[in-house]
A and B are shown apart, each in its own frame.
Chain A
Amino acid sequence: MRRYLKLNVFIILLVTAKLASAHPHVWIDLRIKPLMNEQGNLLGLEQAWRFDPFYSLVLIEELDKGGPKVELEERYDQLSIEIVNNLNGVNFFTQGHILKEVIQWEKVTDFTLIKVGQQLELRFYLPLLNPLKIKELPFTYRIYDPTYYIEMLHATEEGTDSSALNLGCKIKLETPKPSFDLIQKALALDKDATSNNSQLGRNFSEKVTLDCL
Chain B
Amino acid sequence: MRKLILLLLIYPTLLIAMPLQGLNVAESNGEPVLQQEQQAAEPLANKELMTISHQWQKFTFWVIHKQREYHRSLSAKVEALSQQQSFKNTGLLLLLSFLYGVFHAAGPGHGKAVLTTYLLTQPEKLCQGVQLSFLAAMLQGITAILLVTFLVHGLGWLAKEALASVAYIEMISFLLVALLGLLLAIRGIKQLIQTKKNLQLIALSNNARFFPLQNLKTKDPKQSLALHVSSTVLGSSACNSCGQVHHIAPDQLTGRNRLQNLSLVLSIGMRPCSGAVLVLVATNLLGLWWIGVLATLAMALGTALTVTTLAVLAVQARLFAKRLLNIQTHALGRLSALFVFLGGSLILLLGISLFIGSLTNSNSMAF
Q: Which A residues form the contact surface with B (CB < 8 A)?
A: 1, 4-6, 8-10, 12-27, 52-55, 57-59, 61-62, 65, 82-83, 86-87, 89-90, 95, 97, 100, 102, 118, 145-147, 149-151, 180, 182-186, 188-189, 194, 196-200, 202
Contact = CB atoms under 8 A, between A and B. Distances in A.
A58 B28 contact: no
A180 B11 contact: no
B281 interface: yes
Contacts of B214: none
B39 to A, nearest CB: 9
Interface residues of B, number: 67
- Output the residue of A58, A62, A95 with the most chain B CB within 10 A: A58
Contacts of B274: 25
A149 B34 contact: no
Contact of A198 (B24, B60, B108, B364): B24
B41 interface: no
Contacts of A27: 72
A65 B53 CA distance: 50
Query: Which 9 interchain pairs have the tightest Cβ spacing?
Result: A17-B15, A20-B107, A147-B24, A12-B53, A147-B21, A53-B75, A16-B60, A58-B159, A54-B282
B366 interface: yes
Given A13-B15, A147-B23, A189-B32, 12 more contacts: A5-B45, A8-B46, A9-B53, A15-B57, A17-B18, A58-B159, A102-B29, A118-B79, A146-B28, A180-B57, A185-B38, A196-B22
B163 to A, nearest CB: 7
A17 B108 contact: yes
B204 interface: no
A58 B286 CA distance: 11
A18 B57 contact: no
Contact of B49 (A9, A22, A61): A9
B146 interface: no
- Output the residue of A19, A59, A188 with the most chain B CB within 10 A: A19
Main secondary structure of the interface of A (DSSP, over half): helix
Nearest to B79: A53
A194 B158 CA distance: 33
B136 interface: no
Interface of B: 3-4, 7-8, 11-12, 14-16, 18-32, 34, 36, 38, 43, 45-46, 49-50, 53-54, 56-58, 60-61, 63-64, 67-68, 71-72, 75-76, 78-79, 82, 107-109, 158-160, 163, 274, 278-279, 281-282, 285-286, 364, 366-367
B153 to A, nearest CB: 14
A186 B30 contact: no
A13 B11 CA distance: 7
A17 B16 CA distance: 8
A26 B4 contact: no
A65 B160 CA distance: 11
A14 B68 contact: no
Nearest to B11: A13
Contact of A21 (B15, B61, B78, B364): B15
22 contacts: A1-B43, A4-B43, A4-B46, A6-B3, A8-B50, A14-B14, A16-B60, A20-B63, A23-B68, A55-B366, A57-B286, A61-B158, A61-B160, A82-B367, A87-B367, A147-B22, A149-B23, A150-B366, A180-B61, A182-B34, A185-B38, A189-B32
A1 B101 CA distance: 40
A197 B25 CA distance: 9
Contacts of A10: 7, 14
A102 B32 CA distance: 11
- Output the residue of B22, B63, B64, B78 with the most chain A CB within 10 A: B64
A151 B68 contact: yes
Nearest to A87: B367
A83 B58 CA distance: 36
A90 B25 contact: yes
B60 A57 contact: no
Contacts of B18: 14, 17-18, 21, 194
B11 A189 contact: no
Nearest to A79: B367
A55 to B, nearest CB: 7
A213 B144 CA distance: 57
Contacts of A196: 21-22, 24, 26
A86 B34 contact: no
B353 to A, nearest CB: 11
Nearest to B8: A13
A13 B367 contact: no
Nearest to A122: B367
A86 B25 contact: yes
